[in-house]
Amino acid sequence: MKVCVIGAGSWGTALAIVLAPRFARVLLWAHEADLVERMCSTRVNDIFLPGFSLPLNVEPTSDLGHALENADVVIGVMPSRFARPLYRGMLPHLKPEMRFVSATKGLEQGTLSRLSEVAREVIAEKFPPRIAVLSGPTFAREVAGGEPTAVVIASEDRELAASIQRDFSGPTFRLYASDDPVGVEIGAALKNIIAIGAGICEGLGLGSNTLAALITRGLAEITRLAIALGGRPRTLSGLAGLGDLVLTCNGALSRNRSVGIELAKGRKLAEIVSAMTMIAEGVETTAAAVDLARKFQVDMPITEQMGAILEGRNSPREAIRELMERALKPE
């Protein structure tokens, strides 16, 4: 079988590496032609995942048509802002027998759509696609390094989820199947917002009490929104909810946490983002999450305060004070 990974950031490259033993061919598509040229010659993604060699059956390319030709599985790992235009660019090369996996953790600005919804909307112009979503507690470097990792593959099409589970699972990469893509995607997207808050706590020198409260109440917010959108609470207590949230809020490799640390130091958001090689999805997801919460009348005070901080309407310390002084209520 052949798998095509669209997006050669750190996560896309790590997926190509960990899935290489499971497929005869892995096509890794990148927008940057110069990066593709270097990956072909050095077998290393020196920008997004340095230090890890690409297996021999991983073929980097910047040609969408070549990447998608005869692919059995297509994995979307592009930044959320590029998802819609990329799926449109892919459309002429897509076929009904292909299976699609959305592995981007974010929401589309403006439409407030989950990334699998974006993919479905675009591909449905040609045929009804079979789409699953992949998420869980994953740092790309650890996955690429072969450290044991567990994730979730979710689709309302249980047969599809089961087939991806069988094809992707290996000695270091274990998949659990779910039929709740809404819960999985909301957990994946919103944990990045809470992780920025975790970074702020770290940057302000706050301790374990504060972080534990942030994670717990953050998970409550994420769960409320997921339920409002049709997800199930049980999903948010699993790998794609609590698991990913704990990892991203505590791990030193978390880009979103790093953004929070720098914000707490008083640096401007634009300055922080411009200095980053990779995108911190939580920065763009926050505004969409605030809009979703208002649309569905879901109480999300931490998310709202994160939006105020990112937009420069509130300082980190003032945001914490306002959260602590809110009207008292039962848990």
pLDDT band at 281 (very low <50, low <70, confident <90, very high): confident
Active site annotation includes 191: yes
- Looking at residues 57-66, what average pLDDT do you find? 98
DSSP letter (8 states) at residue 130 = E
Q: What do you get for the CA distance between the two ends of the chain, in Å?
A: 50
Domain range annotation of the chain: 2-179, 182-324
CA distance 305 to 322: 8
CA distance 55 to 234: 37
Picking from 167, 210, 182, 61, the residue whose alpha carbon sits closest to that of residue 120 is 182
- Looking at residues 301-325, what average pLDDT do you find? 96
- pLDDT surpassing 80 at residue 251: yes
Q: What is the pLDDT of residue 53?
A: 98
CATH fold of 2-179 reads Rossmann fold (3.40.50)
CA distance 263 to 54: 35
pLDDT band at 279 (very low <50, low <70, confident <90, very high): confident
Q: What is the pLDDT of residue 170?
A: 97
Tokens of 53: 């060699």
Q: What is the pLDDT of residue 23?
A: 98
Q: Which of 2, 105, 126, 191 is catalytic?
A: 191
pLDDT band at 22 (very low <50, low <70, confident <90, very high): very high
Burial class (CB in 10 A: 0-12, 13-18, 19+), 209: exposed
Q: Which superfamily does 182-324 belong to?
A: N-(1-d-carboxylethyl)-l-norvaline Dehydrogenase; domain 2 (1.10.1040.10)
- Looking at residues 256-266, what average pLDDT do you find? 95
Q: What is the pLDDT of residue 24?
A: 97
What average pLDDT is seen over the chain? 96
- Tens digit of pLDDT for each residue in 71-115? 999 999 999 999 999 999 999 999 999 999 999 999 999 999 999
Beta strand ranges found along the chain (DSSP E) = 2-6, 25-29, 44-45, 49-53, 58-61, 73-76, 99-102, 130-135, 149-154, 173-178
Using alpha carbons, list the distances in angstroms from residue 27 to 37, 68, 294, 306. 14, 8, 41, 38
DSSP letter (8 states) at residue 45 = E
Q: What DSSP string describes 49-91?
A: EEEEEPPTTEEEES-HHHHHTT-SEEEE-S-GGGHHHHHHHHG
| Cα angle 77-81-87, degrees, rounded to a multiple of 5 | 60
pLDDT band at 202 (very low <50, low <70, confident <90, very high): very high
